Amino acid sequence: MKQSGRILLSGNEAIALAARAAGVALGAGYPGTPSTEILEHFSRLGGKAQWSPNEKVALEVGLGVGMGGAAALVTMKHVGLNVAADPLFTAAYTGTSGPVVVVSADDPGMASSQNEQDNRRYAVAAGVPMLEPADSQEAYQYTLAAIEISRRWQIPVLLRLTTRVCHSKSVVQPEPPAEPPRGKGDSPHLPERPEGCFAQMGTVPFSTPGFVRDIPGRVMIPAYARPAHRRLRKKLDEIAQWNETSPLNQVLPGAEKGTVPICRNGPEGASHKWGLSPFPHRRQGIVTSGVAYMHAREAAPDAAILKLGMTYPLPLEKVRQFAASVESCQVIEEGDPYLVEQLRSAGIAVEGKPPMYRFGELNVARVRRILAGDASPEPDPPRGKPPALCPSCPHRPVFSVLHKLDCIVAGDIGCYSLGVLPPFEAMDSLVCMGAGVTMGLGLRHVLPDEQARRVVSVIGDSTFMHSGITGLVEMVYNPPPSGHVVIILDNSTTAMTGLQEHPGTGRTLDHRPTGQIVVEDLVRALGIRNVHVLDPTTESERLEELIRASRAANELTVLITRRTCLLAAGRIRQYDSQNEERA
């Protein structure tokens, strides 16, 4: 929604808006909470956006876009970057002709993920610059900045987000204004909007895409990769130098003494004490980045804060000067002690947080505790009602059968992960996309025969497209002695992330008709003979018979349980009728 130049947007929407303004030619990604809405919104704004089968493919497509001289936006959740890590590391060597921005949406606290890995480590490991916005306004500005940095140094840039930046809505003023916005410039609480090298973004068109041959620069045989690695380190040195004075990092002095009360409360529930800072001249200093800045500013209104926008390569001299100017220097960061380790290894004396705050999200209360050095046990957060499979979900009868037959179930990632909860409790492993198929094979190889025959792999249709196909190739190539059974739970959508399309639905990201991968045809083409397609809701007895029969046979079996997700069915009918009208 818009009001005199202000818009209320989620961080994801703000990124899409900036990408559109900057002329991004293609957005590619795989759905994953909390990143999914970026490409959906980019598409709604008229941008060309597509779901790839997985994040590795998406990044590689994006690298091709960059190689062709155009701008690419590649989006994924944190664990998606594990899948896309292979191209990322070498793309740092090759660099990119057109800008390539890789969005990693991390999920501290695991609102909807299997781990809370901190992808800031990837920027260091791969050697790519990293920006961390704190709210939607910065999500907009930093997207422009990432594109500009990528263009200027011809290097992929990591835009690292967290759940609260992606999904929180806040006010965005999209156009870079000629003058600082009124009321903000003199505020001690919010940083000035960055300006400088990327202020003109959106007005400078990229060069027309076209192929320019550069074999030593792009073909990473060892002879060409060795100098490429040296070029990468030189670029990173230059970027680090630029970052020392970059507008992305800001020292924010905080409120004047005596004008704003300082909250020095102990554990939650204790009475709040208010008072003035004991350090009249030298203040408490805080180094922070991302949404942690917002919590820190609120928790410590009078502290001097160095807010880092670009957290790799770090502006170490700027931090060193800041640390020397304050009484004590506390790092406030969510997740891993990334900044603490980097700054300490550079010889800068900073305080970290007690280990207990590595787990879960930060919030204002937790930051107050960190600043107070309080490592006492925290009160348990309210425990709400857990999610569950929908009442008539087609996955339900499948997990009822698996439970009844006491199967050993190698599970996978999706709505059907909820099959682990009562009343089914029919899942014995969940690690990553595609591991259901392959971990099931490993179990079959080593378990005693009676147990091995109980092993069943389950995987959803979108997850199968993402990472299940190579698992079936493995199954055909290295079949366990007792054979194996894979159940592909085909509900014709990517349900868990909000009903996105995938290559098996035959519709593009914006729901238009396109080529369709037919699961049973693909499976049969791999040489698997026992392939059955059945409706789990009306044929659960047949499903049970087929699983029982496969236990006795030493054969490879794929069962495709196909019934459209109840939440998706209405929408899919609508897409199909719209597409028929268009045709």
- Contact between 425 and another protein (CB under 8 A)? no
Show the tokens assigned to 89: 């590391």
Strands across the sheet containing 484-490: 408-410, 455-460, 484-490, 556-562, 530-534
Q: In angstroms, what CA-CA distances link 28 with 16, 82, 101, 234, 304? A: 12, 16, 11, 29, 40
- Contact between 276 and another protein (CB under 8 A)? no
Q: What is the DSSP string of 324-367?
A: HHSSEEEEE-SSS-HHHHHHHHTT---B---GGGGSS---HHHH
- Contact between 387 and another protein (CB under 8 A)? yes
- Contact between 568 and another protein (CB under 8 A)? no
Residues 6 or more apart whose Cβ sits within 8 Å of residue 548: 405
Minimum distance between the CB of residue 251 and another protein, rounded to whole angstroms?
Answer: 17
- Can you give 460-499 as a three-state secondary structure string? EHHHHHHHHHHHHHHHHHCCCCCCEEEEEEECCCECCCCC
Compute how many other C-beta atoms are within 10 angstroms of the C-beta atom of residue 477.
9
Shorter beta-carbon distance to another protein: residue 261 or 442 = 261
Q: Which of 19, 190, 331, 547 binds another protein (CB under 8 A)?
A: 190
Shorter beta-carbon distance to another protein: residue 250 or 530 = 250
- Contact between 297 and another protein (CB under 8 A)? yes
Count of positions on this chain that bind another protein (CB under 8 A): 51
Show the tokens assigned to 521: 């045809």
Minimum distance between the CB of residue 92 and another protein, rounded to whole angstroms?
Answer: 31
- Contact between 498 and another protein (CB under 8 A)? yes
Q: Which of 182, 281, 383, 582 binds another protein (CB under 8 A)?
A: 383
- Contact between 164 and another protein (CB under 8 A)? yes
Three-state secondary structure call for residue 289? strand
Q: Which of 72, 147, 155, 294 binds another protein (CB under 8 A)?
A: 294
Show the tokens assigned to 57: 């493919």
Give the range of 81-89, 267-275, 467-475, 547-555 binding another protein by CB under 8 A.
267-275
Shorter beta-carbon distance to another protein: residue 190 or 452 = 190
Query: For another protein, what does the binding mask look like between residues 459 and 488, x meaning CB under 8 A?
Result: ------------------------------
Q: Which of 244, 298, 535, 576 binds another protein (CB under 8 A)?
A: 298
Please check whether residue 473 is in contact with residue 10, taking contact to mean a CB–CB distance below 8 angstroms: no
Shorter beta-carbon distance to another protein: residue 222 or 269 = 269
Show the tokens assigned to 23: 């002329």
Q: Which of 54, 117, 467, 497 binds another protein (CB under 8 A)?
A: 497
Q: Distance from first CA to last CA of the chain, Å, rounded?
A: 33
Shorter beta-carbon distance to another protein: residue 37 or 55 = 37
Give the range of 43-51, 256-264, 442-450, 473-481 binding another protein by CB under 8 A.
256-264
Q: Which of 225, 365, 372, 534 binds another protein (CB under 8 A)?
A: 365
Minimum distance between the CB of residue 188 and another protein, rounded to whole angstroms?
Answer: 10
Sign of CA dihedral 333, 338, 341, 347: negative
Give the range of 19-27, 192-200, 292-300, 351-359 binding another protein by CB under 8 A.
292-300
Minimum distance between the CB of residue 529 and another protein, rounded to whole angstroms?
Answer: 36
Strands 72-77 and 100-106, how do they pair?
Answer: parallel
Minimum distance between the CB of residue 177 and another protein, rounded to whole angstroms?
Answer: 17
- Contact between 494 and another protein (CB under 8 A)? no
Q: Which of 272, 273, 529, 573 binds another protein (CB under 8 A)?
A: 272
Distance CA 147, CA 23 (A): 10
Helices (H), 405-468: 435-446, 449-452, 461-463
What are all long-range contacts of 518-527, with beta carbons under 8 Å and residues at least 24 apart? Answer: 519/461, 519/464, 519/488, 519/490, 519/560, 520/558, 520/560, 522/469, 523/472, 523/488, 523/558, 523/560, 526/472, 526/473, 526/476, 527/476
- Contact between 230 and another protein (CB under 8 A)? no
Give the range of 90-98, 351-359, 383-391, 556-564 binding another protein by CB under 8 A.
383-391
Q: Which of 45, 124, 364, 533 binds another protein (CB under 8 A)?
A: 364
Shorter beta-carbon distance to another protein: residue 298 or 474 = 298
- Contact between 173 and another protein (CB under 8 A)? no
Minimum distance between the CB of residue 418 and another protein, rounded to whole angstroms?
Answer: 7
Stated as kind and residue range, the H or E segment containing 520 is helix 519-525
- Contact between 135 and another protein (CB under 8 A)? yes
If 0-12 CB within 10 Å is exposed, 13-18 middle and 19+ buried, where does residue 246 land?
buried
Minimum distance between the CB of residue 393 and another protein, rounded to whole angstroms?
Answer: 9
Q: Which of 90, 112, 325, 537 binds another protein (CB under 8 A)?
A: 112
Write out the binding residues for another protein, residues 18-37 only, by CB under 8 A: 33-34
Strands 304-308 and 284-289, how do they pair?
Answer: parallel
Give the range of 62-70, 122-130, 139-147, 377-385 binding another protein by CB under 8 A.
377-385
Shorter beta-carbon distance to another protein: residue 298 or 327 = 298
DSSP 53: S
For 550, how many CA atoms within 13 A lie in the half-sphere containing its CB? Answer: 27
- Contact between 582 and another protein (CB under 8 A)? no
Distance CA 575, CA 569 (A): 10
Cα dihedral 139, 142, 143, 149, rounded to 10, equals -170
- Contact between 386 and another protein (CB under 8 A)? yes
- Contact between 353 and another protein (CB under 8 A)? no
Show the tokens assigned to 390: 């929908």
Find tokens 């790519």 and name the residue: 128
Q: Which residues bind another protein (CB under 8 A)?
A: 1, 3, 6, 8, 33-34, 111-112, 135, 163-164, 167-171, 187, 189-190, 260-261, 263, 268-269, 272, 291, 294-295, 297-298, 301, 363-365, 379, 381-390, 415, 418, 496-498, 567
